């Protein structure tokens, strides 16, 4: 069994078998990460470029670590802001890097569709490390991996993504991936941050944490960005915290202890209270560990065909 | 020059004629229309057997990009594209640099049009409604009309201020020239790039809410009710709800008209999921319900005209991230094919109804005289092969730009030539 495409652009069109394959492969790599010597040879001789057009320390480091542990040669490139504003187009940047005989490209970009665009203009395998508000497939996969590890199966697992769904690629990849694996996904956030017609994606919409907490097994809490306040999307961080911040007090209404996830970096005591982030039900650091294993699995499956 | 156009089927929405007739044209004037004229050897004979002959088409919404953006298109290449697509006239939008907000620019565009393509394609400028298209001060509308402007529009930008729109409607009403609104409430659409709805929710691309169009049309029609002497035209209408407002305004007797583009009656926002920047236009592609509403409104007459919003951009400008890409697609060379394939072949419109949307009606809206198939009248006509099956190939476009989402699409019906101002052109030869 192998993946059907040459790229990982998103989870939307991946089959259950493909997702299973990635998650199972990640289990093996997680075992590798527990060994004293964490390096394995499958991508020896392959060169991977990490193109980060939007800053993201943790995703970049996670990818770099995964790449190095698979013995690939790695170059990383970070440039924030639009490539157009810097005078060189994304296409030219990518083609230049490809001209240096790169085998795989990991790309993070502020514009939805950027990874799709690259997959059309360069020959390397493209891995989407987040494109605008569209998808962040490896985050979706590591969330699924972590939930599966904790709960045994994703089938009928009830997961609510909390916060700024409108601008969140994590939310979309979670919805696509978890639904394919048989989980029930809901979203909760202010009406201004819930995109229109999201119900048609098969998710239930909540505007009160108190309503959704008794109904779910896990919360995936999204980072809230202050800049949205300036655009009139919510009134203040204080009000956000009071009504949409996930706190110990609110999760006590759960029927059983809720698993707490967060893609990081956390705004402590804004979208998630500090005590909960550090509690026994938080799997936030496991997510980070699993992120490396999942990325190793994706790189391995795409890079060794 | 004497031309004998032999054996074509004349379809004329004005007179209702739909018959096979020969046409004799002498020095650009129709000398005779009859069944089997006796013709001496001084006539050049053009066999049109199996083809249809219709009044010369007018695309009332194109961007010729000159002056200022000649790397995208020039008046010459735009006219070549129009001629290839079967148009004998175009109205060009004023979002040039400098904008067509001054009589010298209007005159330049008009005259340049007469100099290119043997003058076979007439170029009628749409002048800016406000200076610099900034929506702040009225453009010199009387002078612009004197220089040949046939409409006023800040196209590309809506006239956002209600106060300025009121004054634009009032002032333009003195000349009987329509105000053409790019209807969009701009505070709601900033940063958007596709229709806001299920598709934008899935792809995460910033949305342009359909209500932004509806709001602007609603406001404008309220103003029009207050200033009924004005003529108001909605450019590239795209939403079911705005169409319904125009339908009601027309029923109430207001001087409101509307146009729709071939892409808005053909494609839905589903195609944007490919992130192909040739699916990015403004207004954006909408939902299947909106496409159906556009089609029904073409049928019932709420939408008077088909116009392409021909918007050339270079490959380098379009081959960028979706959010960064400019809005718009070229349309002149696919308009007839899409109209015939999507509206006539499907039985939605009769052939003469479709032709009226591409000629008679837009001419009436911008105040140009009707084209008549009558002895002694100027010969201004388009030849169409209604059965030609062809595959759109952007590399064959005469337009300088190739930005079309229809590349590779198979269409039925193609312009094969035009005759106007005493000149004849046969396409693709």
pLDDT tens column, B226-279: 999 999 999 999 999 999 999 999 999 999 999 999 999 999 999 999 999 999
The reply to whether A118 and A146 lie within a common domain is: no
Per the model's pLDDT, the better-predicted residue between B51 and A96 turns out to be B51
**Chain A, window 222-281: residues with a beta carbon less than 8 angstroms from a chain B beta carbon:** none
Structure tokens at A275: 């005590």
Exposed, middle or buried by CB within 10 Å (0-12, 13-18, 19+), for B36?
Answer: exposed
What sections of B150-256 are H helices per DSSP? 162-172, 198-203, 210-226, 240-251
CATH 2.30.40.10 domain position(s) in chain B: 2-52+375-387+407-426
Q: Average pLDDT, whole number, for chain B? A: 97
CA A97/CA A177 separation, integer angstroms: 31
Same domain, residue pair A30 and A63: yes
| Cβ-based contacts of B202 with chain A (< 8 Å) | 12, 172, 201
Q: Summarize the confidence of residues A74-84 as an average pLDDT.
A: 73
A250 is an active site residue: no
Shortest Cα–Cα distance, A202 to chain B (Å): 12
Instruction: Say if residue A141 is in the same domain as residue A270.
Output: yes
pTM, two decimal places: 0.95
CA dihedral A207, A210, A216, A218 (to 10 degrees): 90
How much is the average pLDDT of A243-248? 96
In the beta sheet, which residues pair with residue A109? A131
The domain spanning residue A153 has which CATH number?
Answer: 3.40.50.1370
DSSP state of A283: -
Confirm if B183 and B217 have CB atoms less than 8 A apart.
Answer: yes
Q: What kind of fold does domain B56-365 have according to CATH? A: TIM Barrel (3.20.20)
| B37: pLDDT strictly greater than 90 | no
Residue B422 contacts by C-beta under 8 Å, 6 or more apart in sequence?
A: B1, B25, B27, B28, B379
Inter-chain residue contact A195 with B274, CB threshold 8 Å: no
**Alpha-carbon span A69 to A293, nearest angstrom:** 10
Considering the domain architecture, whether residues A64 and A80 belong to the same structural domain is answered as yes
The fold of B2-52+375-387+407-426 is Urease, subunit C; domain 1 (2.30.40)
pLDDT at B428: 65
Average pLDDT estimate for A220-238: 89
* Residue range A221-240: mean pLDDT, rounded: 89
Tell whether A120 and A160 lie within a shared domain.
Answer: no
Q: In the annotation, is A59 catalytic?
A: yes
In terms of domains, do A158 and A264 share one? yes
> Distance between CA B22 and CA B111 in Å, rounded?
33
Instruction: Specify the domain boundaries for CATH 3.20.20.140 within chain B.
Output: 56-365
Residues A170, A115, single domain; the answer is no
**Same structural domain, A149 and A90:** no
Contact B55, B359 (CB under 8 A): yes
| pLDDT tens figures, B285-306 | 999 999 999 999 999 999 999 9
Confidence of residue B1 (pLDDT cuts 50, 70, 90): confident
Is B62's pLDDT higher than 80? Answer: yes
pLDDT at position B200 over 90: yes
**B135 pLDDT tier (thresholds 50, 70, 90):** very high
Q: Which of B204, B207, B274 sits opposite A134 (nearest CB)?
A: B204
Domain assignment of residue A147, given as a range: 137-283
B309 catalytic residue (yes or no): yes
| Alpha-carbon gap, residue B22 to B3, rounded angstroms | 10
With a cut of 80, say whether residue B29 has pLDDT above it: yes
Which stretches of chain A are DSSP H helices? 16-34, 57-69, 90-99, 114-121, 137-151, 169-180, 209-212, 227-230, 237-244, 248-251, 274-277, 284-303
On whether residue A231 sits in a domain, the answer given is yes
Write out pLDDT tens, residues B147-158: 999 999 999 999
DSSP per-residue letters across B50-79: T-EEEEPEEEEEE---TTT-TTT--HHHHH
Task: State yes or no: cis peptide before A196, omega within 30 of 0.
Answer: no
Q: What is the mean pLDDT of residues A160-164?
A: 97
A111: nearest CB among B198, B274, B321? B321
Whole-angstrom Cα distance, residue A204 to residue A138?
24
pLDDT 10s digits, A37-54: 999 999 999 999 999 998
Predicted pLDDT of residue A81? 56
Q: How confident is the model over A226-231, as a mean pLDDT? A: 80
Query: For residue B6, what are the CA distances in angstroms to B33, B38, B423?
Result: 10, 11, 17
Shared domain check, A190 and A228:
yes
In chain B, which residue's Cα lies nearest the Cα of A89? B320
Question: For B157-189, how does the pLDDT look when each residue is reduced to its tens digit (9 = 90+)?
Answer: 999 999 999 999 999 999 999 999 999 999 999
d(CA B385, CA B406): 19
Based on the domain organization, do A156 and A263 belong to the same domain? Answer: yes
Give the model's pLDDT for residue A225: 84
Q: What is the pLDDT of residue A85?
A: 56
Q: How far out from the chain centre does Cα A46 lie?
A: 24
Q: How many CB pairs under 8 A join A and B?
A: 74
Domain count, chain A: 2
| CB atoms inside a 10 Å sphere around CB A218 | 22
Q: Is the pLDDT of residue A87 over 80?
A: no
Q: Are residues A143 and A129 in the same domain?
A: no
A274 and A149 fall within a common domain: yes
Q: Which residue from B minimizes the CA distance to A169?
A: B204
Is residue A116 part of the annotated active site? The answer reads no
Q: Is residue A1 part of a domain?
A: no
Instruction: Verify whether the Cβ–Cβ distance B205 to A109 is below 8 Å.
Output: no
Q: Is residue A39 part of a domain?
A: yes
Read off the pLDDT of residues B6-19 as tens digits, 9 standing for 90 and up.
999 999 999 999 99
* B275 chain-A contacts, CB cut-off 8 A: 112-113, 116-117
């Amino acid at each position: 069994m192998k993946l059907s495409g040459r790229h990982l652009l998103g989870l939307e069109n991946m089959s259950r078998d493909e997702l299973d394959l990635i998650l199972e492969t990640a289990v093996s790599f997680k075992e590798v990460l527990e060994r004293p010597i964490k390096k394995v040879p499958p991508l020896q001789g392959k060169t991977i470029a990490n193109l980060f057009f939007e800053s993201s320390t943790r995703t970049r480091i996670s990818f770099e670590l995964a790449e190095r542990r698979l013995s690939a040669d790695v170059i990383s490139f970070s440039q924030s802001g639009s490539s157009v504003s810097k005078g060189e187009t994304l296409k030219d940047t990518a083609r230049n890097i490809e001209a240096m005989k790169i085998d795989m490209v990991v790309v993070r970009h502020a514009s939805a569709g950027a990874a799709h665009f690259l997959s059309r203009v360069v020959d390397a395998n493209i891995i989407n490390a987040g494109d605008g508000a569209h998808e962040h497939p490896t985050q979706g996969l590591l969330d699924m991996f972590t939930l599966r590890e904790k709960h045994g199966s994703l089938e009928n697992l009830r997961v609510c993504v909390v916060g700024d769904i409108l601008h969140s690629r994590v939310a979309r990849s979670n919805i696509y991936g978890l639904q394919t694996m048989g989980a029930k996904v809901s979203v909760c956030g202010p009406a201004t941050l819930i995109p229109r017609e999201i119900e048609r994606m098969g998710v239930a919409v909540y505007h009160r944490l108190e309503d959704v907490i008794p109904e779910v097994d896990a919360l995936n809490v999204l980072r809230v960005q202050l800049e949205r306040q300036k655009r009139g999307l919510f009134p203040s961080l204080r009000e956000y915290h009071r009504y949409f911040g996930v706190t110990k007090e609110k999760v006590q209404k759960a029927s059983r202890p809720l698993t707490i996830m967060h893609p990081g970096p956390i705004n402590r005591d804004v979208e998630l209270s500090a005590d909960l982030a550090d509690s026994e039900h938080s799997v936030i650091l496991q997510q980070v560990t699993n992120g490396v294993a999942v990325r190793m699995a994706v790189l391995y499956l795409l890079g060794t065909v | 020059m004497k031309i004998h156009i032999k054996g074509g089927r004349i379809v004329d929405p004005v007179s209702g004629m739909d018959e096979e007739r020969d046409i004799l044209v002498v020095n650009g004037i129709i000398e005779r229309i009859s069944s089997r004229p006796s013709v001496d050897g001084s006539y050049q004979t053009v066999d049109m057997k199996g083809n249809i002959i219709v009044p010369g088409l007018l695309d009332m919404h194109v961007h010729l990009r000159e002056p200022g953006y000649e790397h995208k298109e020039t008046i010459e290449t735009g006219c070549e594209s129009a001629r290839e697509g079967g148009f004998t006239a175009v109205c060009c939008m004023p979002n040039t640099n400098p904008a067509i907000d001054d009589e010298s620019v209007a005159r330049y565009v008009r005259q340049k049009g007469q100099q290119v393509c043997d003058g076979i394609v007439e170029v009628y400028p749409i002048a800016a409604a406000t200076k610099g298209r900034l929506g702040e001060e009225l453009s010199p509308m009387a002078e612009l009309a004197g220089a040949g402007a046939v409409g006023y529009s800040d196209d590309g930008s809506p006239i956002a201020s209600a106060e300025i729109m009121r004054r634009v409607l009032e002032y333009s009403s003195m000349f009987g020239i329509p105000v053409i609104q790019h209807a969009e409430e701009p505070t709601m659409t900033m940063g958007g790039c596709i229709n806001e709805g299920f598709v934008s929710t899935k792809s995460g691309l910033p949305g342009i809410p359909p209500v932004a169009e509806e709001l602007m049309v609603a406001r404008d029609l309220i103003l029009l009710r207050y200033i009924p002497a004005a003529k108001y035209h909605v450019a590239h209408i795209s939403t079911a709800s705005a169409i319904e407002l125009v339908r009601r305004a027309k029923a109430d007797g207001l001087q409101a008209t509307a146009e729709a583009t071939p892409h808005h009656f053909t494609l839905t926002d589903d195609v944007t999921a490919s992130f192909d920047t040739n699916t990015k236009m403004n207004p954006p592609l909408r939902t299947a319900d909106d496409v159906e509403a556009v089609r029904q409104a073409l049928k019932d007459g709420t939408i008077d005209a088909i116009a392409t919003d021909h918007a050339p951009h270079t490959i380098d400008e379009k081959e960028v991230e979706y959010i960064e890409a400019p809005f718009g697609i070229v349309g002149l060379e696919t308009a007839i094919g899409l109209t015939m394939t999507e509206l006539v072949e499907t039985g939605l419109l009769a052939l003469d109804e479709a032709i009226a949307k591409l000629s008679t009606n837009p001419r009436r809206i911008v105040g140009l005289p009707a084209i008549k198939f009558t002895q002694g009248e100027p010969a201004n006509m388009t030849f169409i092969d209604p059965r030609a099956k062809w595959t759109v190939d952007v590399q064959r476009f005469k337009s300088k730009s190739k930005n079309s989402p229809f590349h590779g699409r198979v269409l039925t019906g193609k312009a094969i030539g035009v005759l106007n101002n005493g000149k004849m052109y046969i396409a693709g030869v």
